[in-house]
Structure 1
Amino acid sequence: MTPRVSVLIPAHNEAGYIGDCLQAVFASDPLPEGMTAEVLVLANGCTDATAALARDALPPDGWDLQVLELPEGGKLGALNAGDAAARGDILIYLDADVLVSPGLLPQIAVALDLEAPRYASGCPQVSSARSPVTRAYARLWMQLPFFSSGVPGFGIFAMNRAGRQRWGNWPDIIADDIFARLKFAPGERVRVPASYSWPMVEGFRNLVKVRRRQNAGVSEVAAKFPQLTRNEDTVKASAGTALQLLLRDPLGFLAYGAVALAVKTPLFASRTRWTRGR
């Protein structure tokens, strides 16, 4: 049977992004011969025009589009609803503010078209930022080992059905992307060469809030699922690497260090467990 691809896009008040996201998806290069695809926009707890704008998108031949309007907000609930509705053999989880390059989805489909469990993502690129602080932070961040090696998977990650069967419903956690990645051993994860554009939040305050949430997500997965840590292959920057980064980009190093230090303080503390910083 010819494999089918499902692209699941959880979206909470993403009216400013969902149109461009879908346009990029539907501008993808052709899938391997015989493959079909569906896109499920999981509009959860939206109070804006996200669902309406998604329905206005025009899928090309071979693609189906379905918009699920869920009354309650929450990414994990949206993912569970999307998984229940998805018909694909290959599941691609895409954030609504991410823009895929034309080759990314077909390359992921090829990489995951096999019976053994596999996980895949592409090569991330950070979108151009307006804030000088964000631009400096992003420059340094993109030089860290985890960004250029392994399969980070933030913004978009994918797996075949054999891989998705390793767990049931998505657990109530912050870092769904980290949880999913660590369900696969390093040798089961594939980084395809095509890229995608991922936006970083603007300004020092938002960087601190999101970095704090990211750190909490990592700690939560380690605490709730300690057995998954054996699959962690992220390389931490050595003292020598840190010195090279400082000499190469002192402003970027300063911005990154200031955010890392602020996260350890009550500065900009949020009352919500999950924040996008925008």
Structure 2
Amino acid sequence: MLTAARPAPALSVIIPASNEEGWIGRCLAAVLASDPVPGGAELIVVANGCRDATAEVARGFAAPARAAGWGLMVIERAEGSKPGALNAGDAAAHGACRAYLDADCVVTRGVMAALVQVLTEDVPRYAGATPVVPRARSALTRAYGRFWQRLPFARSVAPGYGLFAVNAAGRTRWGDFPRIISDDSFVRLQFLPEERVQVPDRYDWPMAEGFAALVKVRRRQDAGMAEIAALHPGLLAREGKARLSLPGLAGLALRDPVGFGVYVGVSLAVRRKRGGGEFTRGRS
């Protein structure tokens, strides 16, 4: 007896995860608690280079996924490469719309359905939800994050850190994810500002804890943008964010002198010692 093939879902959510056993459970539980996604959805967790129980934790969500009507696939790769993980997830995905979600992010119920709704167009479209930086344990991180969230990039439409999504027409803008640091910026800059849309539904995006971690992540972030400038110089012209004038910066500093001081301290530490491009949990 032949079994009818399951129809392709409208959305594939791809989660690259490297040593994320402490985060992946909350991430998956939040996605599976989502409002129903029109056309159905699937989750693809790509555990890459893990030396912990990330894959086992993800497989433990098989029954909750079935109960929620989601497909769930867990792929294990020996290589610890985020671009490699993204490419493996894409190769296994069936959805016309693709959402790429960091394993430490927690979405609210309406995010996935809202993304699919705005991506249901024939023209290329890039979409994001509204990021929220949750309260950090470290006072330094709280001060840095408070100031950082007032900067032009953080206030731009669909900045894409931690979560971004594209429709089928948008996915044709690039082939495989290249082996670069800033995969999120690379994808975002494939689209003009008018092709990006942000839904009001929120997701949590935690920052690195403490001064040393902030410096390490910020250094990696700066290296990633420098890499894009060197390898794909035309992309930076598509950024479209507002420029921060000197009076504007002075105004931000006056409103939050402590946050400004921490932000400047991190920036100076980054400039004093440039590091390599090793993987760092991406919260800057």
Same fold, TM-score > 0.5, yes or no: yes
What displacement does 1:262 show? 0.9
Counterpart of 2:3? none
8 Å contact 2:219–2:275 — kept in the other structure?
no
Matched, 1:227 2:234: yes
Counterpart of 1:273? 278
Counterpart of 2:12? 6
Counterpart of 2:131? 124
8 Å contact 1:209–1:277 — kept in the other structure?
no
8 Å contact 1:108–1:121 — kept in the other structure?
yes
For 1:183, what is the secondary structure of its paired residue?
A: coil
**In 2 relative to 1, CA 137–149 (structure 1 residues): closer, same or farther, beyond 3 Å?**
same
Q: Extract unaligned runs of 5+ from structure 1.
A: none
| CA distance in 2 between partners of 1:49 and 1:273 (Å) | 22
**In 2 relative to 1, CA 85–124 (structure 1 residues): closer, same or farther, beyond 3 Å?**
same
8 Å contact 1:206–1:277 — kept in the other structure?
no
Matched, 1:145 2:149: no
What displacement does 1:230 show? 2.4
Out of 56, 81, 94, the position equivalent to 1:52 is 56
| CA distance in 2 between partners of 1:187 and 1:163 (Å) | 13
8 Å contact 1:123–1:193 — kept in the other structure?
yes
Q: In structure 2, what residue type is equivalent to 1:10?
A: P
Alignment RMSD: 1.5
| CA distance in 1 between partners of 2:240 and 2:158 (Å) | 9
Q: Extract unaligned runs of 5+ from structure 2.
A: 1-6
**In 2 relative to 1, CA 84–63 (structure 1 residues): closer, same or farther, beyond 3 Å?**
same
In the TM superposition, 1:1-278 aligns within 5 A as 4-32=10-38, 35-57=39-61, 58-59=64-65, 60-266=67-273, 270-276=275-281
| CA distance in 1 between partners of 2:180 and 2:243 (Å) | 24
8 Å contact 2:143–2:259 — kept in the other structure?
yes
For 1:276, what is the secondary structure of its paired residue?
A: coil
For 2:179, what is the secondary structure of its paired residue?
A: coil
| CA distance in 2 between partners of 1:147 and 1:242 (Å) | 14
8 Å contact 1:3–1:113 — kept in the other structure?
no
| CA distance in 1 between partners of 2:24 and 2:40 (Å) | 22
Deviations 1:207-259 (A, max 9, x none): 01100100111111111111212211122321111111111111001000110
What displacement does 1:276 show? 2.1
% same residue: 53
| CA distance in 1 between partners of 2:68 and 2:32 (Å) | 10
For this pair of structures, how many residues does the alignment match? 274
| CA distance in 1 between partners of 2:276 and 2:201 (Å) | 38
Structure 1 stretches of 4+ moved >6 Å: none
What displacement does 1:72 show? 1.1
**In 2 relative to 1, CA 236–80 (structure 1 residues): closer, same or farther, beyond 3 Å?**
same
For 1:221, what is the secondary structure of its paired residue?
A: helix
8 Å contact 1:40–1:66 — kept in the other structure?
yes
> TM-score, normalized by length of structure 2?
0.93
> TM-score, normalized by length of structure 1?
0.95
8 Å contact 2:220–2:276 — kept in the other structure?
no
8 Å contact 2:15–2:102 — kept in the other structure?
yes
8 Å contact 2:125–2:170 — kept in the other structure?
yes
For 1:73, what is the secondary structure of its paired residue?
A: coil
